[in-house]
Amino acid sequence: MYQRTELPNGLRIVTEYIPYVRSISLGIWFEVGSRDEEDHERGYSHFIEHMLFKGTKKYSAKEISEIIDMSGGQLNAFTAKEHTCYYVRVLDEYLEVAADILKEMILESLFLDKELEKERSVIVQEINMYDDSPDDLVHDLLYQLLFPNHPLGKDILGPKENILETKRQNLLDYYQKHYTTNNLIIAAAGNVNHQQIIDLFADAFSKLPSNYLAKRRTSITTATGVFQTKEKDIEQVHLCLGGQGLARDDHEKYALFLLDTILGGGASSRLFQELREERGLVYSTYSYHSAYRETGTFGVYAGYGIDDHEYVLDILVSEIRKLATLELDEAEIERAKSLLRGGFLLSLESTVNRMMRVAKAEISERRLVEVDETIDAISLVTSEEVFSLAKRLLDLGNWCGALVGPVPGDVKFKQIIGNN
């Protein structure tokens, strides 16, 4: 059973009661992420996420970890482009313990200088790790190309120089500006009572300000026809091609889910079958989509040997163009629907997934799309709707591309796409 409460200060509480489980997943979500940062603030959202684990008035950093471990639970957090989430999964008997930890982290973190210095070093190493992970780096490069003049194009971790120069007061100012009640969602799923969540958090979080202005939609222009290579002395080439997708509340999103599944969403997808199963050219290849308030992205990825670059790129382009120009087979559509429905239903067996689902539904639509409604929405998409969307989104003339690996600067890239 799904329930929603919005308090006068803007704080929203959403829960889903699942009577047949023993666990509760509890998340504190703030609608702030890397896209909300000014240039001099880049990396602040993620830096604050780190600092909230480093000690409060009541608990040291070690005690936070020990208490959650003693309860048999899991505590984690992540920063995305449009939100930051702190969440815990525990047995239902430890709900009050978990809630107390999260409240302390959000409201009473100390931001000690000695801890800030340690986390500064940790984040620099995290940046280095991503720089050494070409399959991550190539996605960041593509975003930089697609959104060159918008914060969506900036990476979440921020540049090293920002991290090295950030002062305690900088983080506190950013925290006080964005960590407000009308920017906050408390989400819970599992063997949980909605009123209990209200009782645990409403008074405590009334300490937060409620003066944050609501986010407004802005016009975002996605760049087209821009290509970049980054030479790196590694074994494989990592390639991303992509362009504009759909916003998170777009009415065509279920058609997009099917398009993604058909092109590169599973072992029977066109890219996986053609590049890996039939030709043995790649280990990993897939398509993907990301959705934001006003826009989205859709793209493909492949990792392969440099000697096969032109061959792989030619196949990728060919498969994309076929999907955009040849009508879809009904059997392929039905197979994709079955995969989507099955994956969605299986995901509901996790209380963490259920908690994230109700939180993201609140962010996107301020209501939960029921399970049966989601299944029906997938089932009702027609092949004509998927094909129409494919023709619009899979126009390679409007795409950008990024390469990371042992590639010379004059490697063929734009030329191949332009000739297909």
Annotated catalytic residue within 31, 49, 82, 274: 49
Q: Which amino acid is at 117?
A: E
Quote helix, strand, coil % in the chain, to nearest 5.
Answer: 50, 20, 30
| 43: alpha, beta or left? (left if phi > 0; alpha if psi -120 to 50) | left
49 is catalytic: yes
What is the torsional sign of CA 186, 192, 196, 200?
A: negative
CB-CB neighbours of 306 under 10 Å: 15
Asked if residue 205 lies in contact with residue 28, where contact means CB atoms within 8 angstroms, the answer is no
CB-CB neighbours of 165 under 10 Å: 11
What is the torsional sign of CA 353, 357, 359, 364?
A: positive
Residue found by looking up tokens 């070690």 in the block = 62
CA distances from residue 107 to 64, 194, 288, 341 in whole angstroms, order as listed: 14, 22, 36, 40
DSSP 53-98: TS-BSS--HHHHHHHHHHTT-EEEEEE-SS-EEEEEEEEGGGHHHH
User: What size, in residues, is the chain?
Assistant: 420
Active site residues: 49
